[in-house]
Structure 1
Amino acid sequence: MSTVEFQDRETSSGWQREVAEETVRGRGVIVAEYFDEGCSLRLPWRERPAAAQLMAAAEHPNRPFDAVVIGEYERAFYGDQFNAVLTTLREQGIQLWLPEANGPVNLDDPVHQALMLLLGSQSRREVLRARHRVLAAMHVQARVQGRFLGGRPPYGYRPADAGPHPNRAHASWGRRMHRLEPDPATAPWVRSTFQQRATGRSVAGIARELNDRGIPCPSSADQVGNRYRTKHEWIVRTLVGILENPRYTGQQIWNRHGARTTGPDHHGAPTRPPAARGWAESDKVTHPALVDEATFLAIQGLRAARPTQDGGKRTYVLAGLVGCRLCGRRLDSHWVNGRPGYRCRHGHTSARNRPPELAKNIYVREDHLLDDLCVRSAETVGADDAAIADYLGSNNLAIICGGPTREVRACSSQSVLAAVDETAGEQLLIL
């Protein structure tokens, strides 16, 4: 049973067991039952709890059964899963029975081969057909009708009653429509965030002020809807998600997949981010806006990537290959004084004030690292910067910085492969 919200376990398992009992009647008895709830049909059997237990029981030498009977093929298999399960069971000397085969499946029989092909295609078609109809209907409901289709409302909004459900059957069950309305507790902070960003203030500065003032972030304001989020503070990524969300202009959005801004168009005017595949945007305003369209578009332009002063592209040869000895994090790429380098702030971000007990930032210039590496690796790797970076990456090595020495270590091992004493001026050695 793939969903638990719209199906009843007792009914669903009951009719499937009845089919299974009819299949084995007069030839055997059912000694155990395995029934999965809330698992997608696409998941392999090893990733479904009950199916995984069945496979584990099948591998046990003292198992109490010698055959497995499936009550409904389309509830058990998707695509080529049947062949994989059948092969595994046959290796254990266990038969697989299906109602359509009126008993055990024998793939050496051409009739059974054709039957399995038909059932597999039918199962895939049923899943794809149901998905297409549901997604197409929800797309129209969001774009044409502007309906709020459920889910966690954006920060700054709360769900409000919008009358009886338009489906008569659902309405008879007491289900109601919902719409978005501004949340008096959080909507003012969303408006303030857009206003401050429109004046050119940095996102990190806004996040830092919200944290200092104790303003609840989305995971704090709605802990029920954000059960999987453990931190309760503003971060830059959270604010960027708010500033990029067109739902704050009053339009309903459905099926939005992390769109990115495109910046100014060829006329110099900021544009909305392009709709991702399947993204539906309502044709009209459906709920009160927390920011006007002009301000929203202007902010998208502010978040566009800024070119370097010389119009060039910044490259970091050792990006992802430099680690911190003090906290274990990888150093961030950091451009200072016209040259690349790497920096570690030990988990501190600009979204909050720096704790006084936090260790000082670590900064190392890329050219210093490459010079040390080139001297000692010229014979084995070569003096080319790109070759050195490829060597480190392909051998799972990282340069560990911080303290009096720099070391090259295997990422999955604590053993030091090479070291250099910076105070003594010794060169870095790759073994």
Structure 2
Amino acid sequence: MGADQSGPIPIGIIGSGSRTTRRRRLTGPGTGRNALGPLRLAFAGRTSTEDQQDPTLSIPRQLNNCRTALPDQAVIVAHFYDVESGRKKLAARGRGHGHERMAIPVPRDGGIQDLLEEASRSDRRFDAVICESIDRISRRTYIGTLIENTLEEAGVLLFAADEPIVLNGKRASQVLTRRVKQGVAEWYVLELLEKSWGGFEAHTDQGYNVGKPPYGFKPEKIPHPVPAKRAEGASKHTLVPDPVQAAVVVRVFDLRVGERMGYSAIADRLNRDLMANPAPVPVDPSRAAGRWTGSSVRDVLVNPKNTGYMVWNRRASKTDGGRHNPPEVWVWSSKPTHEALISVETFVAAQQITAGRERSRSTPGKNAADPAACRAYCFRSYLKCGICGRRMFGKTRRGVAYYACQPPAAYRAEGHPKSLWVQEEKLLKGVGDFFSLNIFTRSRKARLESGLLKAQYTRTREWESKAEALRQAIDDIEARRTRLVRKLELLEDGDGDLMRDIRQRSAALSAERNAKLDELAAHERQRPVRSCPELLDLISVGEVDLTGAPEPVLRRLFEAFRLEISYDKRSGIADCKVTLTGAAIDQQGRIAADVVAEARTGGGGAAPVSRLYGASGRIRTCDTRFRRAVLYPLSYGGVSSLAGRA
């Protein structure tokens, strides 16, 4: 590689040491240069991400400034630079490919990682490193100092073109100046980020969208409020529903919340009619799949903008390669800013389904990913161990299907056996009886109402008692604070200590009152939801025998009715719970009708009856007499939940 000769030496740049001194101090073991040869330097450059600066201009400018600052007989023999943020951790630096998308007119020998790697070798091509300014090495003081120390340990000095290049070893003033500059650079970036964050928060609260509109919406241009930018044609964007895509979003949430379908199953349903359900188009149209996929369905379901609120900072697009941020750091608008496609409650319900199905395969049938899988298990993901709360998994022994719980010894709960099993056939009979007696029988509503009224009365009384206790506590605190203020008014010449104690006590009472007010507000938001036993009127009536139903039919029924089973080996009883909701009752009614029709035409047997079953190993199920009715309140529509035992 050709050398870059420096120009004239500016006055005051070089220290007082002679050229011989410079050569002696920079020559030593591992430098790899001849004592009489020129001083060889490596150029270290960095420019921010390509959407913030123009690397085709910034990198050449940095190189020219470094050339201008070079001492005589010094040459740049290698070029290392990156197109990336200077606030990254060192381990993540120098691994990007931003430079490949630019025609930068400077040869490149690698990035910062390649520079450090070559500096540690005995055959390195350079004796020192030069950059335009120290903040080009890193925008964070710790990372910049770490790189500087790493180079110095390898016998390589780090120079900056905007600092005096000291070659006589006297570096105290240089280090002080450099550390001050690093601190100022880091402060400047942090202040800029804080102000930028505040601007984005205000931008979000005003309802302006950042980036490509999500599926279901189209942009509506608003003239930019700044006259200068408005004159340049700049604008801002709000969201309005897309006439076709908005209906698809509603359909996706109906399938997820109503029928509890998985991402891939929803995608398959939408792909049946791509005219009515047009597939989403990514930011880069060349990457479009032309159909729905599981990931595209997930993108729709997890986007909170569908609720009418504007949300920002869902992804770390600038700092962590687009990683999804946790919901607690999202920035929400204080009120809805555009027309909602679904309610907040429906959005929350969809996320709860996702959390409940984590790491659980949602498609029916045997596991296609496991070559050894020979059968499907209808209670997969619905059955949990009543002792440890883990999902029980299917196993087959001598042709008989079981569900087992075998936690590792280190995670085994107290009283949990090494292995516990329950037979699928007996569970299926018990669950079938539970559905027959509580869902499909004509007496179901009366059976539910008798339990619901009592349960609702108990919950309401408990809620009201706690609310009244909180109000009384707040009134008591207010009375004590009032008495304290009156005493303070009567004091004419109280000493300083007494006045201080009274003020501290008043402040403590105010803090206690505010804490109780917050607790009361949180309690008010948990007001019991009205139970709706009338939802059962929308469910078909008929005799159903689930023991002969195909596994896909069973799973569709279990998903629609939110089946949850908890099997306790100690008592030998499996507790069952299903939930009817106002938001999903239409889908639940349709699925129930399909199951009843299947039982009538598909060989359904005699009406189910309650029986007591026994099994080896003291595994048993008991009758499914209705034990209790429990309301599990949600914040939308009507809710009816049934709990019993199988």
TM-score greater than 0.5 by the shorter chain: yes
Deviation at 1:67, TM superposition (A): 1.1
Aligned AA for 1:118? V
TM-score (norm 2): 0.41
Match of 1:300 in 2: 348
Q: 1:336 aligns with which of 383, 393, 398?
A: 383
Match of 1:88 in 2: 150
State the Cα RMSD in Å: 4.7
Q: Deviations over 1:47-98 (max 9, x none)?
A: 3152223234434544432111111111222222233222332343322112
TM-score (norm 1): 0.59
Runs (5+) with no aligned partner, structure 2: 1-46, 96-110, 317-325, 357-368, 420-646
Deviation at 1:251, TM superposition (A): 3.0
Q: The residue matched to 1:29 in structure 2 has which SS?
A: strand
Aligned AA for 1:223? P
Q: 1:279 aligns with which of 325, 331, 334?
A: 331
Q: 2:259 aligns with which of 201, 205, 215?
A: 201
Alignment check: 8 A CA contact 1:217 1:232 kept: no
Match of 2:113 in 1: 52
1:35-114 correspondence runs (5 A): 35-44=81-90, 47-49=93-95, 50-77=111-138, 78-99=140-161, 101-104=163-166, 109-114=171-176
Q: 1:252 aligns with which of 288, 310, 314?
A: 310
Match of 1:326 in 2: 371
Structure with larger Rg: 2
State the identity as a percent. Answer: 21
Match of 2:194 in 1: 132
Alignment check: 8 A CA contact 1:41 1:76 kept: no
Q: The residue matched to 2:75 in structure 1 has which SS?
A: coil
CA distance in 2, matches of 1:227, 1:129: 38
Alignment check: 8 A CA contact 1:158 1:181 kept: yes
Aligned AA for 2:383? V
Q: Deviations over 1:182-232 (max 9, x none)?
A: 33442221133345667x3324365553244457989x5213458889795
CA distance in 2, matches of 1:209, 1:53: 50
Structure-2 change in CA distance of 1:70 and 1:388 (3 Å): farther
Check if 1:167 corresponds to 2:236: no
Aligned AA for 1:336? L
Structure-2 change in CA distance of 1:38 and 1:335 (3 Å): same
Deviation at 1:121, TM superposition (A): 1.8
CA distance in 2, matches of 1:365, 1:195: 31
Hey, which of these two has a bigger chunk of helix by percent? 2
CA distance in 1, matches of 2:280, 2:404: 43
Check if 1:177 corresponds to 2:236: yes
Q: Deviations over 1:88-116 (max 9, x none)?
A: 32343322112454115999844344334
Deviation at 1:132, TM superposition (A): 0.8
Q: The residue matched to 2:329 in structure 1 has which SS?
A: coil
CA distance in 2, matches of 1:28, 1:39: 30
Structure-2 change in CA distance of 1:363 and 1:112 (3 Å): farther
Alignment check: 8 A CA contact 1:67 1:95 kept: yes
Q: Deviations over 1:287-308 (max 9, x none)?
A: x4323xxx442563576579x9
Deviation at 1:234, TM superposition (A): 4.2
Larger RCO (CA under 8 A, 6+ residues apart): 2
Q: The residue matched to 1:36 in structure 2 has which SS?
A: strand
Q: The residue matched to 1:30 in structure 2 has which SS?
A: strand
Match of 2:213 in 1: 153
CA distance in 1, matches of 2:328, 2:413: 44
Aligned AA for 2:348? Q
Deviation at 1:384, TM superposition (A): 8.2
Q: Deviations over 1:329-350 (max 9, x none)?
A: xx99845386652259xxxxxx
Check if 1:210 corresponds to 2:262: no
Q: The residue matched to 2:191 in structure 1 has which SS?
A: helix
Q: The residue matched to 1:283 in structure 2 has which SS?
A: coil
Alignment check: 8 A CA contact 1:3 1:38 kept: yes
Runs (5+) with no aligned partner, structure 1: 259-273, 309-323, 345-361, 390-431
CA distance in 1, matches of 2:372, 2:176: 60
CA distance in 2, matches of 1:104, 1:171: 50
Q: Deviations over 1:348-375 (max 9, x none)?
A: xxxxxxxxxxxxxx986434x57xx99x
CA distance in 2, matches of 1:161, 1:82: 43
- May I ask how many residue pairs the two structures share in their alignment? 322
